[in-house]
Amino acid sequence: MEVLVIFVVMLTLMMIRVPVAFSMSIAAMVALLIGDTPLVLVPQRMLSSLDSFPMLAVPMFIFVGEAMNTGGITQRIFKFAREWVKHLTGSLGHVNVISNIIVAGMSGAAVADASAIGVVEIKAMEENGFDRDWSAALTAASSTIGPIIPPSIPLVIYAIITETSIGRLFLGGVVPGIMMGVSLMILVYFMAKKRGYKTEPPATWGERMTATWRALPSLMTPIIMIVGIVAGVVTPTEAAGIAAVYALFLGFVVHKEMTLKMLYGMLLKTVHTTAVIMLIICSASAITWVVMSSGMPQTLAGLLLGFTKSKALLLLLINIVLLILGCFLESNSIIMIMVPVLLPLVHALHIDMVHFGVFFVLNVMIGLITPPVGMCLYVVSNVGNVPFDKVSKQIIPFLIPLVVVLALITAIPELVTWLPNLLMGAA
């Protein structure tokens, strides 16, 4: 009963444009009142959800994302990618995807990537003859790579909930992230050819080397973090702190494009974004506690296992549910609510936790570019000054390669587990 009340109240409030975090916390309180449970449990559960050392990595990665755009990092990465692939059919479309793959190794957040990269890419693509709405849709689609390739804020949240190794999850996202990038580039090639988008003259080797040299300090950021985590030298939280300090070093010392005034603005934006994410996590944790207390996860697991014991079919059903939820709910709230619900089923089927984590996060990332609540669509619509309905229409073809990658990692877990098992040993 409480679970039904939660979802009815939450969806009703969201439909009348109440913010997601408030919708969830109000829904949790209503459910507790119906169940005659003391409301004091709500703030207790909300605050206890943040009492985690790995959670400190979240504001650090957000800060790195802000530093990229402010300190000249984004522009250098864009220039680097452009010089190497601008001669290919679709030129700046490929640059868009590659830039997002590289930036993904720094920020860990799709919305941050869409915002940071979108400002530069959409303008450049339009100046080179690409349709503005198509460019915005591609930027939104390629930004979903961010939380799959390490580091990743959603994977950190998943790791905290499930007590799974963050290092293994980060490595597990590398191959699927590259697959997403390659599949989008293949689609860009054929769509650009069909639309007649022009191709730029190839860069000289001198231009490529110059762009590479200028971008090299920025390109070292993800390498420093991942090597440190895999080697066991630093924890993911410490790696995030190192990345934040390194981003400041690049902005102030190497590129010399950052000022104290800019730093103040970056800190304000980081605090604002962190507060929003943490409020969502807090609110979702209250709902999670109510759902867990009701015994619904165990009941659901029993029902599904009674329906079928086929791992493939059950993963397909989970895919469908998550993709539908992604159309209406924010990604972090889906992770906080649904992961505990599905854990009994995951354990019963003996699904690898790293595989399930990457599989789950990829699902909710696709949700970020599906209307009507696709956050990345709203971001690129805003930064690119493109009507939301036009971006929503153009995004449809870009969903196809992402869903294909999702289907492949669902059917072939080794695509996720191979790299962490190779570098860190079998779990």
Q: Chunked in runs of 10, what are the mean pLDDT values of the chain (427 residues)?
A: 74 77 80 71 71 76 77 80 87 86 67 66 83 89 86 86 88 93 94 86 89 87 77 80 86 86 88 81 77 72 75 86 79 83 85 94 88 74 82 91 94 93 80
The pLDDT of residue 90: 83
For residue 414, the model assigns a pLDDT of 94
For residue 112, the model assigns a pLDDT of 62
Euclidean distance between the first and the last CA atom of the chain, given in angstroms as a whole number:
39
Residue 310: exposure state from Cβ atoms within 10 A (0-12, 13-18, ≥19):
exposed
Residue 363 is predicted with a pLDDT of 92
